[in-house]
């Protein structure tokens, strides 16, 4: 069905508003995607909503409830939804059925849901009920806000981001290991929001020993510009995953006593991946080494995390693990917080890769975003999509 230019402009305008609503859930919806919904009638918004947390109402249900609470009749309305309405009974009933029952006559959707439980089925329910369905409005923007969810659905492995705080000359610490603080307080506050957008933080025993971190999400340290649109208790609390290939941690380190669950990754005695509960909040995952080396098979760890519905992972580690992950093509994006400081030639580099013989061998990363944070610069690069 063709749509007039005026109708397309109207659809895009309302869809962009729905996408802005969807982004309000970016600190709380995982493992579910961020979704927003706007209901209109005669060109006027009569209801709106977004998905706040897994297990709570989806965007469409919240928008319908908002319309009813305002005394608005939803029959004959248009729904603008940023992702295909669900068609199955999960923790909540199907949204496609809710839209049919509400008398919606037209549904404009940004994109199809890649989840095999949903993909195309939600649209079938709507069309079978005689509802006009338009798909693909602002699809690029819709994909951008749900990269981890979409990548995990399409590749069956979490989306992995390496985060580093570095000096202008690419160093993470002085020769003696001193690193507090290279980046500014503003950058460190931004890291709290970055953690809150990830379901797991992956680190190593070496980093735990060197820094004794908590690796919590501290909402009280969020930048003042961040206004939570959900209750604080909804904010994602990442699983802390620690690769301890030599079993050197004592379990008395701060990361174990801080809030949140921990997954310890130990070497397996065979080629199998297995798990074991150590304490109420600490589990152990046993994984084999890579090609008879002493490096553990982190791809198996990522596959395990996917199996427990973890869509994305943030790496906070030192240069050796960064090199390992890059050399095994396990990193999707790189985030660098760059401070205007020069630490010198003998300081520790953030990543020690093998040398190249030719510039033609080197791949250029794709710059996705550049942001000034205080006196620092935050660079976000895409390595693989």
User: Where do the domains of the chain lie, and which CATH numbers do they carry?
Assistant: 3-144 (3.40.140.10), 156-382 (3.40.430.10)
**Highest mean predicted confidence (pLDDT) among 95-99, 225-229, 345-349:** 95-99
User: What confidence tier does 230 reach under pLDDT thresholds 50, 70, 90?
Assistant: confident
Q: Is 377 in a helix, a strand, or coil?
A: strand
Report pLDDT for 90. Answer: 67
Query: Closest Cα to residue 153, out of 122, 118, 185?
Result: 118
- For residue 164, the tally of other CB atoms under 10 A from its CB is 22
Question: Do the annotations mark residue 295 as ligand-binding?
Answer: no
Catalytic residue, candidates 23, 60, 132, 357: 60
Distance CA 203, CA 304 (A): 16
User: What confidence tier does 227 reach under pLDDT thresholds 50, 70, 90?
Assistant: confident
Question: Do the annotations mark residue 181 as ligand-binding?
Answer: yes
Report pLDDT for 335. Answer: 97
Q: Is 148 in a helix, a strand, or coil?
A: helix
The yes-or-no verdict on residue 338 having pLDDT over 60 is: yes
The yes-or-no verdict on residue 265 having pLDDT over 90 is: yes
User: What confidence tier does 355 reach under pLDDT thresholds 50, 70, 90?
Assistant: confident
Question: Do the annotations mark residue 138 as ligand-binding?
Answer: no
pLDDT digits (tens, 9 = 90+) for 97-110: 999 999 999 999 99
- Beta-carbon contacts of 211 under 8 Å, excluding residues fewer than 6 positions away, are 179
Report pLDDT for 91. Answer: 64
- Dihedral (Cα; 323, 324, 329, 330), 10-degree rounding: -110
CB–CB of 40/46 below 8 Å?
yes
Mean pLDDT for 149-166 is: 95
Distance CA 138, CA 122 (A): 19
Mean pLDDT for 352-370 is: 84
The yes-or-no verdict on residue 1 having pLDDT over 70 is: no
Question: Do the annotations mark residue 56 as ligand-binding?
Answer: no
pLDDT digits (tens, 9 = 90+) for 279-322: 989 999 999 988 777 789 999 999 999 999 999 999 999 899 99
Question: Do the annotations mark residue 316 as ligand-binding?
Answer: yes
User: What confidence tier does 362 reach under pLDDT thresholds 50, 70, 90?
Assistant: confident
Count, residues in the chain: 385
Distance CA 322, CA 163 (A): 9
Flag the least confident range among 113-127, 278-292, 300-314, 345-359: 345-359
Distance CA 122, CA 305 (A): 28
Catalytic, 385? Answer: no
Flag the least confident range among 64-78, 80-94, 121-135, 269-283: 80-94
Report pLDDT for 259. Answer: 85
Interstrand relation of 239-243 and 200-204 (parallel, antiparallel or unpaired): parallel
Question: Do the annotations mark residue 95 as ligand-binding?
Answer: yes
Helices (H), the chain: 5-22, 59-69, 95-101, 121-128, 139-145, 147-155, 185-195, 205-211, 254-257, 298-307, 319-327
Of 164 and 353, which is predicted with more confidence? 164
Question: Do the annotations mark residue 261 as ligand-binding?
Answer: no
Question: Do the annotations mark residue 195 as ligand-binding?
Answer: yes
């Amino acid at each position: 069905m063709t749509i007039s230019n005026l109708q397309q402009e109207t659809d895009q305008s309302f869809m962009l508003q729905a996408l802005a609503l969807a982004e309000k859930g970016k600190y709380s919806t995982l493992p579910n995607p961020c979704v927003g919904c706007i209901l209109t009638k005669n060109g006027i918004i009569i209801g709106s909503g977004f998905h706040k947390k897994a297990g709570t109402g989806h965007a469409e249900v919240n928008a319908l409830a908002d319309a009813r609470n305002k005394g608005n009749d939803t029959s004959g309305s248009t729904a603008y939804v940023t992702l295909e309405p669900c068609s199955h009974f999960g923790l909540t009933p199907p949204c496609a059925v809710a839209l049919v029952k509400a008398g919606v006559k037209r549904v404009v959707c940004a994109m199809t849901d890649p989840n095999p439980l949903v993909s195309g089925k939600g649209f079938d329910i709507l069309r079978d009920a005689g509802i006009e369905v338009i798909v693909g409005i602002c699809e690029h923007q819709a994909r951008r806000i749900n990269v981890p969810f979409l990548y995990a659905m399409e590749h069956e492995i979490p989306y992995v981001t390496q985060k580093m705080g570095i000096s202008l000359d690419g160093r993470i610490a002085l020769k003696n290991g001193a690193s507090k603080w290279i980046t500014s307080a503003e950058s460190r506050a931004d890291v709290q929001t970055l953690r809150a957008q990830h379901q797991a933080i992956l680190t190593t025993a070496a980093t735990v020993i060197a820094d004794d971190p908590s690796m919590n999400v501290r909402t009280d340290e969020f930048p003042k510009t961040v206004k939570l649109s959900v209750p604080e208790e909804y904010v994602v609390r990442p699983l802390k995953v620690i690769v301890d290939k030599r079993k050197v941690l004592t379990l008395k380190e701060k990361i174990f006593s801080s809030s949140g669950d921990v997954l310890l990754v130990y070497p397996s005695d065979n080629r199998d991946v297995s798990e074991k509960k150590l304490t109420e909040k600490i589990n152990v995952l046993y994984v084999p080494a890579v090609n008879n080396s002493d490096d553990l098979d982190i791809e198996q760890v990522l596959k395990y995390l996917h199996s427990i519905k973890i869509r994305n992972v943030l790496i906070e580690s030192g240069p050796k693990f960064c090199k390992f992950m890059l050399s095994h093509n396990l990193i999707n994006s790189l985030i660098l917080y760059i401070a205007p400081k020069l630490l010198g030639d003998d300081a520790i580099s953030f990543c020690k890769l093998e040398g190249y013989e030719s510039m033609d061998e080197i791949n250029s990363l794709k710059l996705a975003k550049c942001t000034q944070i205080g006196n620092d610069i935050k660079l976000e690069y895409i390595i693989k999509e």
